[in-house]
Amino acid sequence: MTKIYQTASGPMTAVDNFTLDVADGEFLAIVGPSGCGKSTFLRMLAELEDITSGDLTIRPGADPKKPLNSVVFQEYAIFPWKTVIQNVAFGLQMRGISEKDRMDVAHGWLDRVGLAKFANHYPHQISGGMKQRVSIIRALANDPEVLLMDEPLGALDAQTRVVLQDELMRIWEETRKTVVYITHSLDEAVLLGDRVVLMSAQPGRILDIYEIDIDRPRSIDTMNLPAFAEYRAAIWQRLSAEVTRAMEMQQ
C-alpha cells in the first residue's frame, strides 16, 4: 500500500509500496527512523487514515461481532470522567454487551494485571504506568482480531517500561493475540517480536524483515542472551544509516 499527502510543496509520499502479511497470532514489531511512516502505516491498518493506493485486508474470525482491530496509542487515551473499570468496559459497552457481562470481563482483566483494587479510581488517581495498563487491557477486553500498538510504552520511565514489557509478554503468551507493534526501541522490538520489520527513512519502505528465533516464553533476562545481542546489532547496522539519512533530510 502507498500513502501520499498533499502539501504546500506538492505531493509527499509517506509510505511507499509497503507489502506485508501478518500471520494469525503473530507478534510483529516495526522499527525505523523518526518520520519514516511507521505510525502512518498503523493508522492505515486502523482505518484512521485513507490509503492512497493498494489494499488492506484483515480476515475476520469466526465471531462476526468481534471488532477487527483495537488501537493502543502512546498517549494515555482513557476517559478522565470514567472510572478504571468503566474505561476497561467501554468497548464492550459500545458493542451492546450487557452490563453484567462487560463488568465480569473488565474485572477479569483488572485481576490479571493487578489493578483490581483500583477499579473505582479515576485516571487522575493512578500512575502513568497504571493508565497505560488500562489502555492495553481495554483494547484486549474488546477481543479484537488484531491489536495495533503505536509506541504504547514510549511515554513511560525506564523502570515502568521494563515492568510493562514483562507484563505484555505474559499477556500475549496467554492470549496469542495478533499484534502489530510500533517502537523506536530495538531492544523492545527484538524482545517482543516474532519478526522485526525494518523501515527506511521517508518514504517508508520495507528494508528487511528479521525472524527472531529466540525461544518463548521470553522475559527481561532474554536480553542477556548472545543471540539477542546479535539480532540487535544486525538490525542496528542497517538502521543506523537510515537514521543518519532521516536527520540529513530534516536539515
User: Does 87 share its domain with 188?
Assistant: no
Cα–Cα distance measured from residue 235 to residue 237, given in angstroms and rounded to the nearest whole number: 5
Q: What is the DSSP string of 141-185?
A: HT--SEEEEESTTTTS-HHHHHHHHHHHHHHHHHH--EEEEE-S-
Cα–Cα distance measured from residue 95 to residue 244, given in angstroms and rounded to the nearest whole number: 46
Residue at which a domain ends, from 91, 109, 144: 144
pTM here is: 0.92
Cα–Cα distance measured from residue 10 to residue 241, given in angstroms and rounded to the nearest whole number: 27
Residue at which a domain ends, from 119, 144, 169: 144
Asked if the structure places residue 70 within a domain, the reply is no
Asked if the structure places residue 69 within a domain, the reply is no
Domain extent, residue 119, equals: 81-144
Task: Give residue 61's pLDDT.
Answer: 67
User: Does 86 share its domain with 2?
Assistant: no
User: Does 11 share its domain with 45?
Assistant: yes
User: Does 155 share its domain with 251?
Assistant: yes
Asked if the structure places residue 179 within a domain, the reply is yes
Residue at which a domain ends, from 144, 160, 190: 144
CATH of residue 161: 3.40.50.300
Helix H or strand E segment including 43: helix 38-45
Long-range CB pairs of 208-215, under 8 A, 24+ apart, other chains included: 208/238, 210/234, 210/235, 214/190
Residue 47 has pLDDT above 70, yes or no: yes
pLDDT in tens, 108-118: 999 988 899 99
